[in-house]
Amino acid sequence: MFESFKVHPFGFVRKRNFLKDISSVVKMWLDGRSAVPADKIVIEGTGGSFAVALSEIVYIESMKKLQYVHIKGGKEPFEAASSLEKFAERFARYGFLQPHKSYLVNYLYIRYIGKTELVLTTGENIPVSRRRAEELKGEYMKLMQDSTPAALPRQTN
């Protein structure tokens, strides 16, 4: 057993508790896999479906019951059929933060968080709710500590 620590196991399955142990170890493995973003996801748009890499989504903006998905590179935003609340639930595990009731932001594109706004690496400003400012900073710092520098996008001009 002690030799196994060299390969960083995430669980053990004992022979006499095989059925009990295997289910919990498999669940831990599946939970760990689901935290890793897939290369692309499909978003249902009002004009059809589109596939996009999570790392390409800069932010999602809600305006008058419509959601606009803003993509890296200044491309025209896609109009999405889902609610912002559903996006927040779906994308929370991928590091999307909600600084304001009308925005969901990919933490990889946050350059600066102020008291009333955050500045993105794209140069855009997103409002920050005063009641969310401190909590948002904490969530952002945790995500930054848990990520690797190689995962951060390069600044685009």
User: What per-residue confidence (pLDDT) applies to 1?
Assistant: 65
User: What per-residue confidence (pLDDT) applies to 72?
Assistant: 92
User: What per-residue confidence (pLDDT) applies to 146?
Assistant: 77
User: What are the C-alpha distances in Å from 104 to residues 17, 84, 86, 155?
Assistant: 44, 8, 11, 20
Tokens of 17: 């508790």
User: 75: how many CB neighbours lie within 10 A of its CB?
Assistant: 11
Tokens of 127: 């409002």
User: What per-residue confidence (pLDDT) applies to 156?
Assistant: 46
**Which stretches of the chain score pLDDT less than 70?**
1-2, 4-8, 10, 29-39, 147-157
Domain boundaries, the chain: 2-29, 41-151
- Assess contact for 101 and 63: CB atoms under 8 A: no
When the pLDDT of each residue in the chain is averaged and rounded to a whole number, the result is 82
Tell me what percent of the residues of the chain surpass a pLDDT of 70.
80
User: What per-residue confidence (pLDDT) applies to 154?
Assistant: 47
CATH of domain 41-151: 2.40.50.1020
